[in-house]
Structure 1
Amino acid sequence: MKAFTILFFALALAAPAFGDVLNRCSLAREMSRLGVPRDQLARWACIAEHESSYRTYVVGPTNYNGSNDYGIFQINDYYWCQPADGRFSYNQCDISCDDLLTNDIEPSVRCAQKVLRMQGFSAWSTWHYCDGRLDSIDDCF
């Protein structure tokens, strides 16, 4: 029982290192602060909801090609970030995948914006949930 208690407290203290769980409004406000156009915020919130449930620390299951997806927007390590294990990556965002798993979402936002510029919102497999009328984010501000 003592070992369990120690393990429980060790994990509880380490939990903040694993990242945050945001919500629609906290994500929209932070992205707005980072300069993301307001007319995109509802779409980004929808993508984050469906990709990671607004969790910044998620590493998705291994994809068919051996790659993984990281962070709140589930950014793929084969194309966009460098995985810690040294596997090949095009690393188009010039970033470590671990930098996409922190409470600071700026690296994830910047990389996601690059994905958007290069491939559009359809780069996300959950896009079909977000392609259409979305709830307004106006109540977040």
Structure 2
Amino acid sequence: MKAVLLICVLALAAPVILARTMDRCSLAREMAKRGVPRGELARWACIAEHESSYRTGVVGPTNPDGSNDYGLFQINDRYWCQPASGKFSYNGCRINCNDLLTDDISNSVRCAQAVMGAQGWSAWSVWRFCSGYLPPIDDCFK
């Protein structure tokens, strides 16, 4: 009985990370509201589709270098966000990695744009799926 009570107390004390699954159009509309140029939206949607299946709460499996990738755009914790474990990170986005896992995509969008600005689209290994023709995103705004 004490173990059950302890588990309940710990569950209530743990930070709640709200996450959701988006789709191409909901992501495009939310990114547009955050000032992302319409001409980039199809590329961002493609990256999110291939990286996280549009899921905001995804932490990828450990990479060969020991790092992990977080959120919609699978932002790497060695370079772009600070993991809760406290392990070293360059933390280029000056953000906690868990802040990339919530249902509010503002931090993910801001950090992904910083990654793209520094390294270009090819920073994402899935870029090969997103570099060619993509269906227009305009149907999401009708």
Number of residue pairs matched?
Answer: 129
- When the two structures are superposed, what TM-score results if normalisation uses the length of structure 1? 0.88
In the TM superposition, residue 66 of structure 1 has moved relative to its aligned partner by 0.2
The aligned residue for residue 54 of structure 1 is 54
Aligned counterparts, 1:1-141, within 5 A? 17-141=17-141
Deviations 1:42-88 (A, max 9, x none): 00000000000000000000000000000000000000000000000
Question: Contact 2:83–2:96 at 8 Å: present in 1 too?
Answer: yes
**Structure-2 separation of matches of 1:64 and 1:17:** 26
Corresponding residue SS for 2:60: coil
Corresponding residue SS for 1:136: coil
RMSD: 1.7
Deviations 1:92-129 (A, max 9, x none): 00000000000000000000000010000000000000
Deviations 1:121-141 (A, max 9, x none): 000000000001001110000
**Structure-1 separation of matches of 2:137 and 2:52:** 19
In the TM superposition, residue 17 of structure 1 has moved relative to its aligned partner by 3.6
Corresponding residue SS for 2:108: helix
Percent identity between the two aligned chains: 69
**Structure-2 separation of matches of 1:24 and 1:128:** 18
**Structure-2 separation of matches of 1:62 and 1:17:** 20
**Structure-2 separation of matches of 1:74 and 1:106:** 14
The aligned residue for residue 6 of structure 2 is none
**Structure-1 separation of matches of 2:119 and 2:73:** 14
**Structure-1 separation of matches of 2:114 and 2:51:** 17
**Structure-2 separation of matches of 1:22 and 1:90:** 29
